[in-house]
């Protein structure tokens, strides 16, 4: 093994076009927990009353079961038609900083985008 380069071992999961995608993403991240045990996050996409896509996000430091321990998250906060999730295994960036937990979301002139990567 080459120890000169950082090894990335994050877990990434996404799902589209189903009811309650956040719960499926939770289980996907739980199955991928071995890929990253430092932090976890989920972003869902939902259409608002104006038919514009909005993102809802929850992320935190800890195991998937710790970050998403409140069942209310899946019933109210993370509704939508698609979701992406990420388990973090840090190779760079402060491990205790919430800003380094994926997925990342930004608003720009033409809308919103959210991304999770390894």
Known catalytic residues are 10
* Rounded Cα–Cα distance for residues 101 and 38 (Å): 9
C-alpha to C-alpha distance for 116 and 84, rounded to whole angstroms: 7
Say how far apart CA 45 and CA 53 lie, in whole Å: 6
Contact 76, 46 (CB under 8 A): no
């Amino acid at each position: 093994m080459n120890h000169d380069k950082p090894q990335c071992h994050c877990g990434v999961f996404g799902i589209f076009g189903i009811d309650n995608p956040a719960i499926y993403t939770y289980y996907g991240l739980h199955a991928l927990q071995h890929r990253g045990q430092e932090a976890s996050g989920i972003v869902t996409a939902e259409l608002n009353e104006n038919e514009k896509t909005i993102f809802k996000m929850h992320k935190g430091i800890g195991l998937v079961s710790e970050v998403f321990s409140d069942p209310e998250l899946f019933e109210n906060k993370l509704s939508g038609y698609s979701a992406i999730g990420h388990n973090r295994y840090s190779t760079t960036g402060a491990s205790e900083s919430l800003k380094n937990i994926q997925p990342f979301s930004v608003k720009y002139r033409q809308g919103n985008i959210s991304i999770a990567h390894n």
